[in-house]
Structure 1
Amino acid sequence: MSRKLLFATVLVVAGAAAIGPSAANAPPLGTEQFEEWFDNAGNMVGYVHWTCDGQRETWGSRNGRLTVTRLACPSP
């Protein structure tokens, strides 16, 4: 493998690892999503909430164990 190809591959993998799960996309139309981060003691240390209208609300740190929950939005 050439050095340039190896270097490019390392950069792509490192970039993907740096972004991690915190770069989650908005949930599918008609759902809302809760992304909650917990520390080793089980305390919530941060969250991201994607609302039914596509807004994103965040709080705290996005490091630790991630739990993702998707719910159907209420019918209009």
Structure 2
Amino acid sequence: MRIKSVLSAAALVAGLSIAGTSVANAPPYGTEQFEEWFDASGNLVGYVHWTCDGHRETWGSRNGRLEVTRRACPQP
């Protein structure tokens, strides 16, 4: 019985870690993406910015309410 509990807990942790990284994937080619995290008061507490050339810039905490915005990159 104990081994079943350990395996269930391990599966849960693995599933949550996979779900948590799904937002962190780079956006499609030709777009940039902003992932912004806000606290309960609505203050920005962290972000991830995927630039048009595929670089990832981060700042702050990635906890709280998440808003994701994606837009097309300007054409040269």
TM-score range, shorter chain: 0.7 to 0.9
**Partner residue, 2:45:** 45
Does structure 1 residue 63 correspond to structure 2 residue 63? yes
Q: What TM-score comes out, normalization by structure 2 length?
A: 0.80
* Partner residue, 1:54: 54
Q: Mark the runs of 5 or more structure 2 residues left unpaired by the alignment.
A: none
Distance across 1 between alignment mates of 2:22 and 2:64: 11
Number of matched pairs: 75
Give the TM-score normalised by the residue count of structure 1.
Answer: 0.80
Query: Aligned Cα RMSD in Å?
Result: 2.5
Q: Distance in 1 between matches of 2:59 and 2:44?
A: 10
Deviant stretches of 4+, over 3 Å = 3-10
Q: SS of 1:33's equivalent?
A: strand
**Any stretches of 5+ residues in structure 1 without a counterpart?**
none
